[in-house]
Amino acid sequence: MIRKTLRIKSELGLHARAAAKLVKLTSQFESDIKLSRTHVDEQVDAKSILGILLMAAAQGTEIEVMIDGKDEEVAMEAVVQLVNDRFGEEK
């Protein structure tokens, strides 16, 4: 199991389009992928768009990514890249 804290930099936060991209990505991996807002106990499943949107992560929110499974390393690398790339948005 590996963890990493990331900051949501995209202007609209982790909104519908970004969440869709994230789910499409995480669903390709076998590992269990969980997200939580830092300092909040409740975790959400990163393969569930309903869960991700319910985090209501606006721009600047810090989220913790927890990945557990065979392909956890590759998965983490891909998630970090997508988040830091502002989900492929302009700017």
Residues near another protein (CB under 8 A): 12-13, 15-17, 19-20, 23-24, 45, 47-51, 53-54, 56, 58
Q: How far is the CB of 56 from another protein (least distance, A)?
A: 4
Q: Which is nearer to another protein, 2 or 58 (CB)?
A: 58
Active-site residue set: 15
* Residue 56 neighbours by CB under 8 Å, 6+ apart: 13
* Residue 49 neighbours by CB under 8 Å, 6+ apart: 16, 19, 20, 23
CA distance 63 to 7: 6
Q: How far is the CB of 43 from another protein (least distance, A)?
A: 11
